[in-house]
Amino acid sequence: MTHEVVGRVEELGSELAALADENESLGKLSDRTVELLRSAGVIRMLQPKAYGGYEAHPREFAEAVMEVARHDGAAGWVCGVVGVHPWELAQMNPKLAQEVWNDDPDTWIASPYMPNGIADPVDGGYVLSGRWPFSSGSDHCRWDFLGALLGDGKGRPAGPITVLHVVLPREDYEIIDGTWDVVGLSGTGSKDVVVDKAFIPEYRTVRQEMVQEGTAAEAIGLTDTLYKLPFSSMFPLGITAAVVGICEGALALHLSQQKERVAVTGVQVRDDPYVLYAAGEAAAEIAASRVQLLDGISRLYDQVEAGKPISLEDRANVRRNQVRCAWRAVAALDEIFARSGGNAIRKGNPMQRYWRDAHVGLQHMIHVPGAAYHANALAAMGLELPEPMRILI
């Protein structure tokens, strides 16, 4: 059964698609696009019901992100990234959730999780400074999740390395305009943010390892299956869902444009077996990516629901497949783009935007195959993973 949010996105699809060029030109989502996404409820899919959310199955969240991305890759990307943050916030001190959502359940939270700052301990919390690139959707968010290294009190990382996720209100960080000048996913507005000696209360922080291992929820007495899933499976889910959705949108557009196209040879493309073969094969590959991505997170959910622990190998398998889903789908997009004709490269043709957005999506660190595949092979052989390699597994 289709989730009600997915149904609403389907109804809004044509308007979302019509706004995609404006988003790219603005270098961020337009106010109207954000209004549509808020009305659909995509960002609240993983939010607790107590704060106006749906507490949806993560599979349904991924389906909603794919549906948005089919129409506008940038909007889908923002939904995939920003939409995971309510899931993590739910696992932190309930005081923070009340602070963020009590007045407005549609409050959005941005993030760059990379530990680019130092959080020095002080009475009651930490003092944070640093600069983070790639804060997607930041112009429309009132809070930001940032990764930080635990400091030694003197602005240097303390040993051994400990990574914190910290949450800051908008007044405690600066968004740097002009820092998102890119060839694809321009509408995501993934700008740099800067923090200069901001005080972070203890309750607005969580250790990354607790979210990574799925133990943060347990620490605050949260028993819902959704919030026991590991960060390394949930965070990549939304991003890869956006990439798969972009490829689905490109395929649909390709088929629509080729239906009446006549090649320079005078042959109608619909009578060209080579182009149609490529389209059919691409459709199968993109569909396989969708199914495998949804299957991976569903299997983990079912394990937790049944009271079974999630092993490192389980996580490594899901990460391996999630990476492969993205690369498989984009490779299929390349095959149809190459057969879309010269008009596909015109700036007025959305086909070239889908192609650019998909390739930029592959640049995200969660789509780098080397470490994910390496870690998976080690885990499958029952061998230890080097500590740095465990971070995203």
Examine the domain organization and report whether 24 and 148 are in the same domain: no
Q: Is residue 381 part of a domain?
A: yes
Q: Is residue 224 part of a domain?
A: no
Give the CATH number for residue 200: 2.40.110.10
How far apart CA 9 and CA 66 sit, in angstroms, is 10
Range of the domain at 386: 229-390
Examine the domain organization and report whether 333 and 270 are in the same domain: yes
Work out the average pLDDT over 274-298: 96
Q: How far is CA 84 from CA 93, 280, 348, 390, in A?
A: 17, 33, 32, 20
Question: Is the pTM for the entire model greater than 0.95?
Answer: yes
- Give the total number of structural domains in the chain: 3
Instruction: With beta carbons less than 8 A apart as the criterion, state whether 322 and 296 touch.
Output: yes
Examine the domain organization and report whether 376 and 263 are in the same domain: yes
Examine the domain organization and report whether 80 and 20 are in the same domain: yes
DSSP symbol at 132: E
How far apart CA 218 and CA 319 sit, in angstroms, is 23
**Average pLDDT score, the chain:** 96
Give the CATH number for residue 80: 1.10.540.10
Residue-wise pLDDT tens digits, 190-216: 999 999 999 999 999 999 999 988 899
User: pLDDT-derived band of residue 264, with 50, 70 and 90 as boundaries?
Assistant: low
Q: Is residue 221 part of a domain?
A: no
Examine the domain organization and report whether 263 and 315 are in the same domain: yes
> What is the pLDDT at residue 130?
97
How far apart CA 243 and CA 364 sit, in angstroms, is 11
Share of the chain above pLDDT 90, in %: 90
Examine the domain organization and report whether 233 and 279 are in the same domain: yes
> What is the pLDDT at residue 260?
85
Amino acid present at 212 = Q
Examine the domain organization and report whether 34 and 121 are in the same domain: no
> What is the pLDDT at residue 143?
98
Higher per-residue confidence, 242 vs 160: 242
- Give the phi and the psi of residue 227 in degrees, each rounded to 5: -90, 5
Residue-wise pLDDT tens digits, 241-257: 999 999 999 999 999 99
Examine the domain organization and report whether 270 and 242 are in the same domain: yes
How far apart CA 140 and CA 34 sit, in angstroms, is 8
Give the CATH number for residue 373: 1.20.140.10
Lowest mean pLDDT among 7-21, 105-119, 261-275, 295-309: 261-275
Cα end-to-end distance, the chain, whole Å: 31
How far apart CA 79 and CA 33 sit, in angstroms, is 11
Where among 73, 101, 129 does a domain terminate? Answer: 101
Q: Is residue 18 part of a domain?
A: yes
Residue-wise pLDDT tens digits, 326-365: 999 999 999 999 999 989 999 999 999 999 999 999 999 9
Work out the average pLDDT over 43-48: 98
Examine the domain organization and report whether 189 and 69 are in the same domain: no
Instruction: With beta carbons less than 8 A apart as the criterion, state whether 295 and 324 touch.
Output: no
Residue-wise pLDDT tens digits, 369-385: 999 999 999 999 999 99
Per DSSP bridges, beta strands 115-122 and 109-110 are unpaired
Where among 66, 101, 136 does a domain terminate? Answer: 101
Residue-wise pLDDT tens digits, 20-42: 999 999 999 999 999 999 999 99
185 class by beta-carbon count within 10 Å (0-12 exposed, 13-18 middle, 19+ buried): buried
